[in-house]
A and B are shown apart, each in its own frame.
Chain A
Amino acid sequence: MDYLKPGDIETLCLGATLLGAGGGGDPYVAKLVAQQALETYGPVRVVDPGELPPDDLVLTTAVIGAPTVILEKLPAGTEYVGSVKALASYLGKEPAAIMSIEVGGLNTLLPIATAAEMGLPIVNADSMRRAFPQIEMTVFTLAGLPAGPLSIADEKGNQCVFKTTDNHVAESLARAAVIQLGLANAISCYPLTAAQIDEHGIHGSLTYCNEVGSLLEAVKRGEEGSWERFLTESGSAEFFRGKVVDLDRRTTGGFARSTVILEDLEGGDSTMRIEVQNENLIAFLDGEAVVTTPNLICLLDCETFEPITTEYLAYGNRVVVIGMPCAPEWHRPGMLELVGPVAFGYDVDFVDLPNQPR
């Protein structure tokens, strides 16, 4: 993956849907925007953080707002470029490259469009390698790197920059601004140097996303041995094949929470319960937690192997539940307080996957 071209986006999109772990937003629109930008502005070079001069500035961009509004107020492109330029202007330094903070869901693909439009390379790294609901839930927070100063921009030219004292304040200020700016905006946060990303970021996120997407494409084509190969090469494990027999959805505190109950497809007595807050967070097999955040819990259609997002989940869906390892960069002090079960209000211990890479 030296350069990203329009034809590369489909596979990345499938990988991004999987890494959304049930959430992360539908990447369909982002896929079309990225394809159009690559057609219009040409291919985007993919660089590892270590390839860049250490002091070079790398800026991120992502969508922030409400998923339902984003479907109606489609991206202009200028808001993402605007968020980057606003932050660059505040910092008094031009970015050398663009990076995604969240390789998982639609925020995987939008920064590619921005990089194309700005004629900059995209960094093969990120801060989550999955989807999470809040901007402080990153490996950068674990490393003590601030989310601020950060910028918010809309498509009309409104921009604001926040200098914040901690990443939780950054999250709440950003949300407040977005409500006034139309709930479909761009955010640029975690302005870092290439050296900081090289030291603290998650390496190879885009490559990983492309690999799992490509492995899953082979499964979807029905290639022999492709499922086992997908599991082995992604370090994942299959935990359950079951049918959705109960689905309880509720919205509390702005998050879409739900509980999903699955019954064994083969007629066995086992049941699986999955707790969801935007993303799938904990999977219990017969009452015992078997996969927990920040490891990924992904549901795939039993027949098509299409990753199923929470919003499309319905009674009767037949799904395979897999646990995918989170990026090894997550395994640092403070992980559990930030993104473990306790961070989402569950009194459950973190569990390693059978082949957890560290």
Chain B
Amino acid sequence: MSSAANHQDLRVGVDVGGTNTDAVVIDAAGEVLAAVKVVTTPEPIDGIRAALDEVLVGLDHARVSKAMLGTTHSANAIIQRRGLDRVAVLRLAAPSSLGLRPGAAWPDDIHAEVVGATSIIGGGHEYNGREIAALDTEAVRRLAAEAIRAECRSVAVAGAFSPATSEHELRARDVLVEELGADFPVSLSHEIGSLGLLERENATILNAALLSVATSVISGFQEALAERRLDVDAYLTQNDGTLMMAGEASRYPVLTLGSGPTNSMRGACALAAVNDAIVIDVGGTSADAGILVGGFPRQSSAAVEVGGVRTNFRMPDLISMGLGGGTIVRNGSGDLRIGPDSVGYAVATEAICVGGGVLTLSDVSLAAGRMTGFGDPAMVKGVEGGLVRSAIGWVDEQISIMSDRMKSTRAALPLLAVGGGAHLIPDVIPGVSEVIRPRHQSVANAYGAGIAEASGSVDRVYSYDSSSREECLDDARELAANAAVRAGADPDRVRITTVTEVPMTYVPGQGCRVMVKAAGPLA
């Protein structure tokens, strides 16, 4: 891999979305030197190759030192149940948890595809670090044998309270390596998720199921880079908007499967040079609102489902509604109805303003003087003025509700208007200090990938009785910062990005769950 030299001042960010694959080249100052958008191909690696070729035209490849990829490959594999590996699941928690089998509440189709063998065995820890039971190593060996019989390609291991005490998961892995060999992949839950055994176990199973898909995507990306004589460090973006080295990412694919919205929001904010803002992304069919706090999306507190499987991932807290450029407007007998259905991308041919026959919000926006550069204003002359006012009033109200729901305080915040339907967003919104429409916003995803930082986090339970609250928080901050440095962050520029304390009711000794995240630019 390359060493960082002064002339290696460029990064390439690539984002593979459902519709488009975007790529940008960014210099050391964060300026966009080149940006392209190509159609996502059935084999996404073809789109990645095309985007790389196009974005690098005229640039000295030797100046590029880093390449970042955000992709929906893994998410699609889960949603489409395609290319998933069969997994043996080992839960270390017995005799606790026997009332709830691994893979409970998974949709039948993905369960049949993925969950090959399961076993709940003696092991795991209590809230205070004591063993629930000694690790039953014989049962680990039996599961290994069963994994071979059931033609599983990887093992997922989840132990009770492993985010606090990982010892049994690590020992179980050693036994599995003895039985299955060092090349047989094993995913450990404490490396994947936080407290909440069922959800963490689900995420670990998904991770184990995605290993083949991830390995092929990542080696494809690395090959594509090498073919273009790009001697660079390759990274993937994670769900939280920070980076993971390509080698790591092929072991923890589940942590990269929801990076799209995060990259988009972080990219938009960086392009607008703000750290705290509401972001509303209006597409053809829907509008998604999120909020950035300190440069990172606020994360959802509710459980996140991936392909029908409940996980405890940290995903951006987003709200969506059926409001987009293609949203259909109906005015039957004076009763205005807007959406939620949409003509989607067909707005380019079906909207009134391009000679089509469907009245959409794009037509309303054009008639109201908001949308420019698309469609013919003469075509929407026939749309009645009262209807335009009512429809635009509805849009303004919905945008205002979305931005208000996203805010966590009453203070006014800037709002970033992004996406192909951003013209619908008014310039003045109650509770919003200003509406910003960033340059290059159409490639915000790839830009977000290109500027991503390395991060580390910690999630554990402290007792504020044994040490003071400050001492506990300092310990957690240090652990998180060290983890970020291990992930590649510059030790001198690593900073704490979030500290969350959740007091535990009914727990003695002032138990408190502390979650800290640190991030910093790559060293």
Please give the residue numbers on chain A whose beta carbons come within 8 Å of chain B beta carbons, in ascending order: 28-29, 32-33, 35-37, 65-69, 71-78, 113, 155-156, 175, 178-179, 182-184, 243, 245, 251, 254-256, 278, 311-312, 314-318
Main secondary structure of the interface of A (DSSP, over half): mixed
Contact partner of B96 (CB less than 8 A), chosen from A28, A184, A278, is A184
CB within 8 Å for A78 and B196 given contacts A65-B506, A243-B404, A245-B410: no
Question: What A residues does B469 contact at CB under 8 A?
Answer: none
Q: Which of A66, A76, A316 contacts B504 (CB 8 A)?
A: A66
Shortest beta-carbon distance, A268 to chain B, in Å?
Answer: 16
Which residue, of B97, B161, B511, has the highest number of chain A Cβ atoms within 10 A? B97
Residue among B96, B198, B410, B461 with most chain A CB within 10 A: B96
Contacts of B386 in A (CB 8 A): none
CB-CB < 8 A to A72: which residues of B? 127, 160-161, 195-197
User: Is A314 a contact of B195 with CB atoms below 8 Å?
Assistant: no
A251 to B198, CA, bound (A): 26
Given contacts A29-B198, A68-B195, A69-B127, contact A251 B505 (CB under 8 A): yes
B98 close to chain A: CB less than 8 A: yes
Main SS of chain B's interface residues? loop
Which 4 interchain pairs have the tightest Cβ spacing? A251-B503, A74-B97, A77-B99, A316-B405
Bound complex: CA of A278 vs CA of B407, how far in Å? 25
How far, in angstroms, from A317 to B405 measured CA to CA in the complex? 6
Alpha-carbon gap, A8 to B401, bound state (A) = 36
CB-defined contacts of B100 to chain A, threshold 8 Å: 29, 32-33, 36, 74-75
- Cβ contact within 8 Å between B95 and A183: no
Determine whether the beta carbon of A76 is less than 8 Å from that of B404: no
- Residues of the B chain whose Cβ atoms lie less than 8 Å from the Cβ of A77: 98-99
Contact A182 B506 (CB under 8 A): no
- Chain B's nearest CB lies how many Å from the CB of A276? 12
Q: Which residue of B lies closest to A64 (CB)?
A: B506
Residues of B within 8 A of A67 (CB): 505-506
How far, in angstroms, from A316 to B303 measured CA to CA in the complex?
19
* Known contacts A182-B132, A317-B405, then 15 further A-B pairs from the complex at CB < 8 Å, ordered by chain A residue: A29-B100, A36-B99, A36-B101, A74-B198, A75-B97, A75-B99, A76-B94, A251-B505, A254-B506, A255-B505, A278-B505, A312-B301, A314-B408, A316-B404, A316-B405
A29–B196 alpha-carbon span in the complex (Å): 10
Q: Are A183 and B410 in contact (CB under 8 A)?
A: no
Q: Does B181 contact A (CB under 8 A)?
A: no
Task: Tell me the count of chain B residues lying within 8 A, CB to CB, of chain A.
Answer: 43
Expressed in whole angstroms, the minimum distance between the Cβ of A296 and any Cβ of chain B is: 20
Residue of B nearest to A246 (CB): B410
- Shortest CB–CB separation between residue A39 and chain B, in angstroms? 10
B105, B401, B461, B511: the one within 8 Å of A32 (CB): B105
CB proximity of B402 to chain A, nearest CB, Å: 10
Q: How far is the CA of A75 from the CA of B98 in the complex (A)?
A: 7
- Known contacts A72-B195, A73-B93, A314-B408; decide if A113 and B99 are in contact (CB<8 Å): yes
A66 touches B197 (CB 8 A): no
Quick check: is B507 within 8 A (CB to CB) of the other chain?
Answer: yes
Contact A74 B93 (CB under 8 A): yes
Task: Name the interface residues of B475-514: CB closer than 8 Å to any CB of A.
Answer: 502-508, 511, 513
A113 neighbours in B (Cβ, 8 Å): 99
Q: Is B4 on the interface with A (CB-CB < 8 A)?
A: no
**Distance (whole angstroms) from the CB of A150 to the closest CB of chain B:** 17
- Nearest residue (CB) in A for B502 is A68
Name the A residues within 8 Å of B383 (CB-CB): none
> In chain A, what residue has the closest Cβ to B302?
A312
Closest B residue to A67 by beta carbon equals: B505
| B97 and A36 within 8 A (CB) | no
